[in-house]
C-alpha cells in the first residue's frame, strides 16, 4: 500500500512482480475450474434444485398440506404438538413456511426418492437444510417442486435464511432421515 503516488505515473507499463503474477494465475485457474464444474455439478449432482413451479393460492396450498398431514401423521412433537409425518417412499411430500415455522416435521427414508413441494403462505422465506447445501427461496403464491433423495441418515434442521420479521431467528423445522 502506497501513501504517496508512484514515481512513474504510467504504472500499468511496469512489469508485474513474480508473486503478484502467481496469485493472478491461481485466481484465473480457479475461475476456469469453477466455470467447468458448475455445469458438471448441475448435470451429475445428486440434489438438483427445482425445475417446476406452479402458481397456487396460499389457502389452496394450506389445504394440500393439511390433507398430507392428516394422511401420514405418526406422532406429535414439542410443546406445541407439531405433527411428524412419515410418507411412503416415492410420495409427494409437502412443507409449508409461515411466520415463524416450517410445518410439518418430516420423517423420510435414506436412499428413497420423494417429490418435495414447498410454498409460503405469508412472506418470502428461505429454505435451507442444514448441514447440507440445499438452499431455496420460497415465495408465497408459488409451489416449488423438486425431486429429493436423502443420502445420509440423521436429523436435519430446516432454517429460514431470508429475513421474515421479528421472529425470523425462531423459524426452524426438522427433517428426520432413517
Is the entire prediction scored with pTM above 0.95?
Answer: no
How large a percentage of the chain has pLDDT more than 90?
48
pLDDT tens for 119-176 read 999 999 998 888 877 788 899 999 999 888 888 999 999 999 888 888 888 888 999 9
Q: Which residue has the cell 414439542?
A: 78
Residue 116 burial (10 A CB sphere; 0-12, 13-18, 19+): buried
Work out the mean pLDDT of the chain and round it to a whole number: 87
- 152: which residues sit within 8 A by CB, 6+ positions away? 110, 132, 177
Closest CA to 95 of 111, 109, 113, 115: 115
Determine the pLDDT at residue 45: 66
Domain 52-177 bears CATH identifier 2.60.40.420: yes
The per-residue pLDDT for range 3-21, each reduced to its tens digit, is 777 677 777 777 888 999 9
Residues 32-90: tens digit of each pLDDT: 999 998 888 777 765 556 578 899 999 999 999 999 999 999 998 878 789 999 999 88
User: Where do the structural domains in the chain lie, given as residue ranges?
Assistant: 14-44, 52-177
* CA-based nearest residue to 85, from 65, 105, 66: 105
At residue 5, the pLDDT reads 72
Amino acid at each position: 500500500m502506497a501513501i504517496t503516488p508512484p514515481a512513474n505515473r504510467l504504472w500499468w507499463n511496469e512489469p508485474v512482480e513474480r508473486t503478484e503474477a502467481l496469485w493472478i494465475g491461481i485466481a484465473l485457474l480457479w475461475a476456469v475450474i469453477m466455470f467447468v464444474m458448475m455445469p458438471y455439478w448441475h448435470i451429475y449432482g445428486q440434489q438438483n434444485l427445482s425445475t417446476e413451479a406452479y402458481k397456487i393460492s396460499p389457502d389452496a396450498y394450506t389445504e394440500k398440506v393439511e390433507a398430507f398431514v392428516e394422511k401420514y401423521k405418526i406422532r406429535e412433537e414439542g410443546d406445541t404438538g407439531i405433527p411428524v409425518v412419515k410418507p411412503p417412499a416415492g410420495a409427494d411430500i409437502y412443507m409449508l413456511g409461515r411466520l415463524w415455522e416450517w410445518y410439518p416435521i418430516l420423517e423420510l427414508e435414506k436412499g428413497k426418492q420423494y417429490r418435495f413441494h414447498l410454498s409460503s403462505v405469508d412472506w418470502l422465506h428461505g429454505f435451507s437444510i442444514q448441514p447440507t447445501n440445499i438452499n431455496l427461496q420460497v415465495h408465497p403464491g408459488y409451489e416449488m417442486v423438486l425431486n429429493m433423495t436423502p443420502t445420509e441418515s440423521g436429523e436435519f434442521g430446516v432454517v429460514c435464511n431470508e429475513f421474515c420479521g421479528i421472529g425470523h431467528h425462531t423459524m426452524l423445522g426438522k427433517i428426520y432421515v432413517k
